[in-house]
Amino acid sequence: MKAIAVEPGAGTPSLIDLPVPEPAPGEALVRTLRVGVDGTDDEVIAGGHGGVPDGDDRLVLGHEAVGVVEDPNGTDLEEGQYVVPTVRRPPPDVETNVYFERGEPDMAPEGAYVERGIVGAHGFMAEYFTSPADCLVPISADLAPVGFLVEPISITEKAIEHAAAARSAFDWQPESVLVLGNGSLGLLTAAMFRTTMGYDRVYCLGRRDRPHPSIAILDELDVTYIDSRETSVPEIPEVYEPMDVVYEATGYAKHAFESIEALAPNGVAALLGVPGDWSFEVDGGRLHREMVLHNKAVVGSVNSNRDHFASAIDTLAGLPSWVIEDVVSGVYGLEEYERAFSDPTDDATADDDTTIKTAVEFSNI
């Protein structure tokens, strides 16, 4: 079967041939339909993040997949069931651990998991993959064509769950939300806040010129686009309003600290980006004081578990179909899979780049 893999140092993915995998007991064989591409894939390809499985010299990419059960192999799944796989698995040397037993692999520390398509385990960018049946979340046939959006949406489901929990000790009534970043995750999240969660006042910060398809989506959603080149994050409360929620999806480390200044009293910032080391000066006294005197909270969030995938499927069903259609800017067959990946020589913020979210199609639905 065909698969898309990357060798450390190669800098670009390539199409390889692999045998169709055999499901172990408790695993099903899944025929892959579509697999999304995101910034994590870019980082894995560039070598800044992730790693090949032990004893292998390349990594099959892909962690945002949707497929159809080809062989249930004695599990509770049925042949023909559409499914979305979760990403984390126990490390190769153990059967399970307390985080997986609790259904919370997303809370496992480093070393207590591998991530399919990212670190230590092959991903889903192959014509077939196997997975333990309990890591396959059923999805309806009508959502299957965009089922590759379930994993990124689940990341937001978890972050919002944790942010809301951080405000659960008092009567919190959030009204204003700022999403930092207008990439595909930022757009999906802004759309969630505006539609399925029903917030009236949603803002999204980016650094692109109009016209751009991502800003057109925000306009259509009635989400206020903030150009970071015109208004910096700390200026946002003055120019717009203080924010009850800040959701950071830029990976720009200064945003983690500036978020505290953008928050309204009793607000919460959810951080999702994974920046590299970067030292800079902050007014730490002011930020510390502001956190305390105004009861502010900051929560980091990574990955997601099966419950978040299930919530994400509900969210996907509730999002306006035009948002999904406009966010998915391209689905490419195996014969042109390169088009799904960003060209590393491109400036991803170039205004002529109208790519938002891409996927590779491995077989027809």
Check residue 169 for interaction with its own copies (CB under 8 A). yes
Q: Which of residues 287-306 bind its own copies (CB under 8 A)?
A: 287-302
Check residue 102 for interaction with its own copies (CB under 8 A). yes
- Residue 5: how many other CB atoms lie within 10 Å: 23
Per the CB < 8 A criterion, the answer to whether 363 and 32 are in contact is yes
Instruction: Select the span of 103-111, 183-191, 318-326, 334-342 touching its own copies (CB under 8 A).
Output: 103-111
Compute the C-alpha angle 86/205/255, nearest 5°.
Answer: 75
Q: Which of residues 143-162 bind its own copies (CB under 8 A)?
A: 161-162
Check residue 271 for interaction with its own copies (CB under 8 A). yes
Check residue 280 for interaction with its own copies (CB under 8 A). yes
Binding residue per annotation — 184? yes
- Residue 216: how many other CB atoms lie within 10 Å: 13
Nearer to its own copies, 104 or 338 (CB): 104
Check residue 48 for interaction with its own copies (CB under 8 A). no
Nearer to its own copies, 166 or 331 (CB): 166
- The nearest distance, CB 232 to its own copies, in angstroms, is 15
List, as own/partner pairs, every contact residues 219-225 make where C-beta atoms lie below 8 angstroms and the sequence separation is at least 24, other chains included.
220/322, 220/326, 221/190, 221/191, 221/194, 221/195, 221/323, 222/194, 223/179, 223/190, 223/191, 223/194, 225/182
Check residue 197 for interaction with its own copies (CB under 8 A). no
* Count of chain residues binding its own copies (CB under 8 A): 55
Binding residue per annotation — 305? no
Instruction: Select the span of 135-143, 191-199, 200-208, 284-292 touching its own copies (CB under 8 A).
Output: 284-292
Among 17, 279, 352, 364, binds its own copies (CB under 8 A): 279
**Which single residue is written with the structure tokens 């499901």?**
23
Check residue 170 for interaction with its own copies (CB under 8 A). yes
Give the DSSP letter string of 181-244.
--SHHHHHHHHHHHTTS--SEEEEEE--PSS-HHHHHHHHHTPEEEETTTS-GGGHHHHS--EE
- The nearest distance, CB 294 to its own copies, in angstroms, is 6
Strand partners, 203: 178, 224
Rounded to whole angstroms, what are the CA distances from 198 to 92, 191, 195, 269?
42, 10, 5, 19
Sequence-distant (≥ 6) Cβ neighbours of residue 291 within 8 angstroms: 260, 297, 298
Nearer to its own copies, 13 or 117 (CB): 117
Binding residue per annotation — 40? yes
Q: Which of residues 330-359 bind its own copies (CB under 8 A)?
A: none
Sequence-distant (≥ 6) Cβ neighbours of residue 294 within 8 angstroms: 263, 264, 265, 266, 267
Binding residue per annotation — 284? no
Give the contact letters, 240-269, x = binds to its own copies (CB under 8 A), - = no: -------------xx-xx------xxx---
Binding residue per annotation — 330? no
Among 8, 53, 273, 330, binds its own copies (CB under 8 A): 273
- What three-state secondary structure class fits 357? strand
Binding residue per annotation — 273? yes
Check residue 238 for interaction with its own copies (CB under 8 A). no
- Residue 224: how many other CB atoms lie within 10 Å: 16
Check residue 283 for interaction with its own copies (CB under 8 A). yes
Q: Specify the DSSP element, H or E, that contains 262.
A: helix 253-262
Residues making contact with its own copies (CB under 8 A): 102, 104, 106-107, 109-110, 161-162, 164-171, 253-254, 256-257, 264-266, 271-302
